[in-house]
Structures are given as C-alpha cells and as structure tokens.
Amino acid sequence: MTKKEIIWREILYQALERKVFKFTQKNLAEKLGFSLSTVFNALKVPRQAGAVKVSGRFFEVVDMEKLLAIWATYRNLAKEVIYQTRLDLPVSQIVGQLPAEVVLGGYSAYQARFKEAPADYDKVYVYADNLAEIKKRFPKQSGGPSLIVLKPDANLKNYGQRLTLAQLFVDLWNLKEWQAKDFLESLKKKIF
C-alpha cells in the first residue's frame, strides 16, 4: 500500500469510525511517521475533487463518499498479493486454520465484523506477513486460488485485528468475483 493510501485510510478511519472530521497535516504526519510534504501531496487529489477542504492550518473531510471513491479507484489490490493457493476446504475451515495474527480481508472480514454474509463466497483474503506459517498450513496447490494472502503495511496493526471500514470498502470494491458487488452494496448501507 502506498503512503498516500495509508494517509487516506487514517483520515477515513477517523471520519467514519471516530466521527473526527478536522485534522492538521502536522499531526497526521507525526502519527503516521511521514513527512509534511507526503501528507500535503496525499491531499492534492481529494482537495481538487472537493472531498477535503483546506483552510489555514487545518483540513476537513467534507465528502467521505467521494474520498472513499478516490481511494477505491486508486487502489491496486493485485499488487499486494504475496501468496495464493487452491484449497479444497470450506471457507469456515480455511478461516479456522489461519494463524491468530492474520487480519481477515474481503468477504471474511465483512462476515467476521457483521456476523453475516450477503452472498456465498469461496475465496478467503487475508493480510499476513508470516508466510512460512501459512505455507506450512496451506501448501501451494495449483488451480484457481481459494486463499489469497496480501502484504500488510506497517501501520495496519494500529487498527487491531481487523480492517477499518474504509479499507474493507476499498478492498471489496477491487475484488473481481460476482459476490463483491453484493458485499459492497451491503457495506454501503451500513456505512451511510
């Protein structure tokens, strides 16, 4: 994930889940460990699109939906894939055998968070950097993948063991399976 995306995720996390809409670039840079110029550059497109409004030393989120759409169209989930394998197991068994430190993504993240699934699915997406343990539990097999491991960024752990609502939205937006639309529509209703 790029620095720009990490910044957008933090802004959207604060806005969607904490109801904080006003920020300073300096505080955001310090919290995420980035330079002020990186934060400034990350705000260019959202500012031009009217998703954020900059005034003096502060900036404010004025259109969360637009900022989500900007991030969703910018995100390249395929670039984050670091391992995938085919498993002839039900989704519940795959999830049950995952190492404790993984962060569920995609459909499983939605189901874990909301205790429901708007559609059946057969692919489990996870964020993990302990590939040795995952490969030990789920050896490489050919065929269409049913377990897809994505590379977590260094700041993901700041949100605990689950994705932020914004990252869940953006990741679902970028999934190609037919179920993604059902999950995304359901998530939109829960967010907005």
Predicted TM-score (pTM) of this structure: 0.95
The stretch 147-172 carries a mean pLDDT of 97
The answer on 105 and 66 residing in a single domain is no
The answer on 43 and 99 residing in a single domain is no
Percent of the residues in the chain that have a pLDDT greater than 70, as a whole number: 100
The boundaries of the domain holding residue 169 are: 77-191
Task: Indicate whether 10 pLDDT > 90.
Answer: yes
The answer on 82 and 48 residing in a single domain is no
C-beta atoms surrounding 114 within 10 Å: 14
Task: Indicate whether 56 pLDDT > 90.
Answer: no
The stretch 157-166 carries a mean pLDDT of 96
The stretch 144-148 carries a mean pLDDT of 97
The answer on 21 and 86 residing in a single domain is no
Residue 90, amino acid? P
Segment 63-105, tens digit of pLDDT = 999 999 999 999 999 999 999 999 999 999 999 999 999 999 9
The answer on 60 and 114 residing in a single domain is no
Confirm if 7 and 32 have CB atoms less than 8 A apart: yes
The answer on 145 and 89 residing in a single domain is yes
